Amino acid sequence: MAMKIRLARGGSKKRPFYRIVAADSRMPRDGRFIEKLGTYNPLLPKDSEERVKMDMERVQYWLGKGAQPTDRVSRMLEAAGVLAKKERSNPQRGEPGAKAKERAEEKAAKAVEAAEAAAAPAEETAE
């Protein structure tokens, strides 16, 4: 049986609340799970201790049994120091869009023109 440690959503509309659960990977997101391992409340501030609560002993147990954490849960476990940090890369995210590139080129061209215009009167006064 392929086990996952993942989030199961609870809470009402626009007020999310998640349970961190160990579940069979074939079950639906909010469906049947084997054990509740903790909670995650994204509405609380990031520095709040109540935001993420986990039973670390049970998490370690399930990881030892071969359960795979989802990306979001693995980030929580990395923050808690249970898992080693993974190298993640999204090179397109840091790249500006097409319109931003056009604006940057226009701004650079105007800066070059302004520098040339400022340099021309300075040369005339030097003579």
Reported as a single tens digit per residue, the pLDDT across 64-122 is: 999 999 999 999 999 888 888 887 777 777 788 889 999 999 999 998 888 888 877 65
> How big is the CA angle at 67 (ends 63 and 69), to the nearest 5 degrees?
90
What is the rounded CA–CA span in Å between residue 110 and residue 106? 6
CB atoms within 10 A of CB 35: 13
Amino acid occupying residue 46: K
Write down the domain spans for the chain. Answer: 3-80, 94-127
pTM of the complete model: 0.67
Amino acid occupying residue 40: Y
Which uninterrupted H or E stretch holds 6? Answer: strand 3-12
Query: Which residues, 6+ apart, have CB-to-CB distance to 30 below 8 Å?
Result: 8, 9, 10
Architecture per CATH, domain 3-80, reads as 2-Layer Sandwich (3.30)
